[in-house]
Amino acid sequence: MTAPHTLEGLLVDPVDGPRTGRLTIEDGLIVSVEEDAAGPREPLVFPGFVDLHVYSPNALLEQGVTAYLLAAREPVELPDERCLGLHLEGPFLNPEAAGAVPVEEIEPVDLERLDRWLEDSPVRIVTVAPEIPGGLEAIALVAERAVAAIGHTRANAATVRAAVDVGARFATHLWNAMQPLAARETGPVAELLLEPRVVLGLIADGRHLHPRVEQLTVQVAGAERIALTSDLVAEPVLGDNRLAGGDRAGAALVRRMARFGLREVATMASLVPARLLGLADRGRVAPGHRADLAVLSADLRPLETILAGETAWSVRYSQARTLDDQPPSTRAPGSGA
């Protein structure tokens, strides 16, 4: 048993919205939330951010990310306890929509191997291009035990709808590495935007999407269907101005997308990805939920990251140590700001 302790500020809950008050933490859980209209309006206390798509996990803690999926093309060992499992971005993708995925790492669908991965490895999401031979069968197989995702695709509208009908529930970085919108063919982007059963992954780093494209996505789909994802990599820029992934995560994405509202950005950064993974005890600042919290300043800069009620990172700790002294989980700045 740990002694109860409290945290005051502007509590930003995706369901109840932002309100001033205090929360009490005991044994790693939020045990009570008390509103106080006269309370301080800072710091801002968000539910810990959940990232569904991370290749390079360094610096996540210092951006308020308390849970994430490690992206890979095949099963690998999980790096730490904050990693909840794997997001297999492939290898069953369309080489004509490879994006930054090396074409040599894209393979034909192998249902037996996929079945072994799902049985023996902590796979939580698998991205498949539904139009490739065996793609729909692969999505149906994934949907039995994990989250089936559509991505790196040039599928037509009928194939996208078929993929959703057999169980696809996530769009891996909507807009990116997908057949673009056209006047006479909806293709994957429009179909996924309009499909209420699908959560839309959005790399909202200011590089992958124009701000008006972000706005269009939020206005059409609503925050309740969007999961902010980082696609975080160590080296985000390839030659010829091509992107190999993202360089911003957690609070840095929240800071950009807060223009849509604090409740909305908390929904996109915490609640929606937590619910997609079936994490009923995360994604909210509410009693009974795990005390995984991202504490931000008034201008949405990270101040402290709390895991199960305990400080896992704080700006004071970071500034008091040299870079060489810091443990790997707090080494900067792969994710940037």
Q: 243 pLDDT band (50/70/90 cuts)?
A: confident
pLDDT exceeds cutoff 90 at 175: yes
CATH code: domain of residue 147: 3.20.20.140
Nearest to 274 by CA among 252, 289, 260, 255: 289
pLDDT tens sequence across 1-30 = 667 889 999 999 999 999 999 999 999 999
Q: What does the pLDDT average to over 231-244?
A: 77
In a domain, 337, yes or no: no
Residue 252 buriedness (CB in 10 A; 0-12 / 13-18 / 19+): buried
In a domain, 336, yes or no: no
**Same structural domain for residues 21 and 133?**
no
Domain count, the chain: 2
What range defines the domain where residue 243 resides? 48-276
**Same structural domain for residues 202 and 236?**
yes
CA dihedral over 45, 47, 48, 50, signed as positive or negative: negative
How far is residue 159's CA from residue 279's CA, in Å, rounded to a whole number?
A: 30
Q: Are 29 and 291 in contact (CB under 8 A)?
A: yes
In a domain, 312, yes or no: yes
Among the three residues 276, 304, 320, which one is the final residue of a domain in this structure?
A: 276
Q: Of residues 270 and 240, which shows the higher confidence score?
A: 270
Q: What is the pLDDT of residue 21?
A: 97
**Same structural domain for residues 52 and 39?**
no
In a domain, 281, yes or no: no
Query: Residue 240 carries which DSSP code?
Result: G
**Same structural domain for residues 312 and 267?**
no
Q: 333 pLDDT band (50/70/90 cuts)?
A: very low
pLDDT exceeds cutoff 70 at 179: yes
Q: Which helix H or strand E contains 262, and what residues bound it?
A: helix 262-266
**Same structural domain for residues 225 and 153?**
yes
In a domain, 335, yes or no: no
Nearest to 26 by CA among 47, 5, 45, 48: 5
Q: What does the pLDDT average to over 185-214?
A: 96
**Same structural domain for residues 14 and 91?**
no
**Same structural domain for residues 299 and 244?**
no
**Same structural domain for residues 233 and 135?**
yes
Q: What does the pLDDT average to over 158-169?
A: 98
Q: Residue written as tokens 């290749």?
A: 55
**Same structural domain for residues 310 and 241?**
no
**Same structural domain for residues 167 and 88?**
yes
CATH code: domain of residue 9: 2.30.40.10
Return the exposure string of 119-142: e unless at least 16 CB atoms fall within 10 Å of the residue's CB, then b.
eebebbbbbbbbbbebbbebbbbb
Angle, to 10 degrees, between the axis of helix 157-165 and the axis of helix 187-194?
40
Q: What is the pLDDT of residue 323?
A: 33
The mean predicted confidence, pLDDT, of the chain is 92
In a domain, 128, yes or no: yes
pLDDT tens sequence across 119-160 = 999 999 999 999 999 999 999 999 999 999 999 999 999 999
**Same structural domain for residues 35 and 54?**
no
In a domain, 320, yes or no: yes
SS (H, E, C) 76-133: CCCCCCCEEEEEEECCCCCHHHCCCCCHHHCCCCCHHHHHHHHHHCCEEEEEECCCCC
Q: Are 48 and 250 in contact (CB under 8 A)?
A: no
**Same structural domain for residues 314 and 212?**
no
Percent of the chain with pLDDT over 70: 92
pLDDT tens sequence across 39-66 = 899 999 999 999 999 999 988 999 999 9
Q: What does the pLDDT average to over 240-265?
A: 92
Strands ordered across the beta sheet of 44-47:
29-35, 17-26, 5-13, 44-47, 293-296, 302-307, 310-314
Residue 200 buriedness (CB in 10 A; 0-12 / 13-18 / 19+): buried
